[in-house]
Amino acid sequence: MSQRSRRSSSAVTINEVAARAGVSAMTVSNVLLGRKKVLESTRDAVYQAVEELGYTPNAAARALASASQLRLGLIYRNPQSAFLSAVLVGALIASARLGAQLLIRSCDAENEEATAATLNGLVRSGANALLLPPPFCEIVDRSPELLAAGVPMMALSSGRELTHMPGVRVDDYEAARAMTLRLIALGHRRIALIEGPIQHYASATRLAGYRSALAASEIEEDESLIAKGDFTYDSGLVAAQRLLDLPQRPTAIFGFNDDIAAAVVSEAHRRGIVIPDELSVVGFDDTPIAVKIWPPLTTVRQPIVEISDLATQRLVEALRQPKEGGTTTTVHIPFSIIERESTGPVKP
């Protein structure tokens, strides 16, 4: 790599990109903004120069130059996630309503290097603001140098307050606490849970809410009732097998998302365990799978579509009316407990 290519993206100018690509600065601008049709070879040359030089367009300047050029970038990891589907619906609804384009890109891994590469790729492709679901919003918040992309960012469902980024979320702590207290009110004392991955703040926050509810009810915590998961159905199956193999099995299991809880229901059915007579099962999110299984899940309703819609709206507002120094304000959306047939009182 040349010395020039190793320079920081903030030091590279549009004129240098134009010189590398052999075109005018206006042509580079038109390619990056998608304003006019250009030859495919010209467009490829511009994108290659952008990549080689590490050029990051100035999003604020682009927004001022053309208020109609609103391109929001969204990154994701698991395309089969019901949570992601709801995020996409909310972002698409808001983008269409607000006249913005939505650019979507998959991230190879949930780590700092992959996140940085994906964020920079979106910005170089024309995104002038970024919508970050977990755990990417949390990865960026832990690594402030990733904020140097120079574009507004908005977190959604971050699991807890972030230091460097505004967002929209429910109170995961209070939601998990409320669900655990509801199970306790039904007479359950051996309440197991299946966590999400450690890099998701929501997992630790919900665990803290669960523990708070046990302590408030003077129930001694049993570490054997806490199982690891990664917010997938398959991880829920593995965890459910371990929990249901315990000599004294739990009377209730709290899955930290609906996919996990649905897997618990499936494993219970396989073993002939009757829900809710012999085992109560609850989830989190209220995604479509909650009402597609039998019995339908009692769950925490996290209005993901609404969260994504509002986060997208706030991001567009940050572009149209930029504030000096930005904002780190988090907006809280109310959660609710949706009771269905997967829960019941403990049988004597």
| Cross-strand bridge partners of residue 156 | 168
- Look up residue 56 and give its two tokens: 């990051």
3-state secondary structure of 265: helix
Angle separating helix axes 112-124 and 40-53, nearest 10 degrees: 140
Confidence of residue 9 (pLDDT cuts 50, 70, 90): very low
- pLDDT tens digits for range 118-134: 998 898 888 989 999 99
Sign of CA dihedral 271, 276, 297, 331: negative
- Look up residue 320 and give its two tokens: 């149209």
pLDDT for position 145: 75
Superfamily of domain 71-170+304-334: Response regulator (3.40.50.2300)
Helices (H), the chain: 14-21, 25-33, 40-53, 59-65, 82-98, 112-124, 136-142, 172-185, 201-216, 233-244, 258-271, 304-320
- pLDDT tens digits for range 189-200: 999 999 999 889
Greatest mean pLDDT among 23-37, 98-112, 251-265: 251-265
- Look up residue 281 and give its two tokens: 């099962």
Query: What's 189's DSSP letter?
Result: -
Which region holds residue 182: left if phi is over 0, alpha if psi is between -120 and 50, else beta? alpha
Contact 252, 218 (CB under 8 A): no
Amino acid at 168: V
Considering the chain, what percentage of its residues have pLDDT values greater than 70?
88
Contact 271, 244 (CB under 8 A): yes
User: Fold match between 14-66 and 172-302?
Assistant: no
20 or 173: which leads in pLDDT: 173
10 or 239: which leads in pLDDT: 239
Which residue, among 300, 206, 197, 195, has the nearest Cα to 255 in the 3D structure?
195
Above 70 in pLDDT, residue 342? yes
Superfamily of domain 14-66: lambda repressor-like DNA-binding domains (1.10.260.40)
pLDDT, the chain, mean: 87
Contact 183, 191 (CB under 8 A): yes
Above 80 in pLDDT, residue 154? yes
Above 50 in pLDDT, residue 6? no
Contact 61, 282 (CB under 8 A): no
Which residue, among 268, 338, 259, has the nearest Cα to 292 in the 3D structure?
259
Domain definitions of the chain by residue range: 14-66, 71-170+304-334, 172-302
Above 80 in pLDDT, residue 55? no
Cβ contacts of 140 within 8 Å, gap of 6 or more: 115, 119, 132, 146, 147, 153, 164, 165
Above 80 in pLDDT, residue 331? yes
- pLDDT tens digits for range 31-44: 776 555 667 788 77
45 or 191: which leads in pLDDT: 191
Q: What is the CATH architecture assignment of 172-302?
A: 3-Layer(aba) Sandwich (3.40)
pTM across the whole model: 0.78
Cβ contacts of 309 within 8 Å, gap of 6 or more: 90, 91, 93, 94
Confidence of residue 60 (pLDDT cuts 50, 70, 90): very low
3-state secondary structure of 194: strand
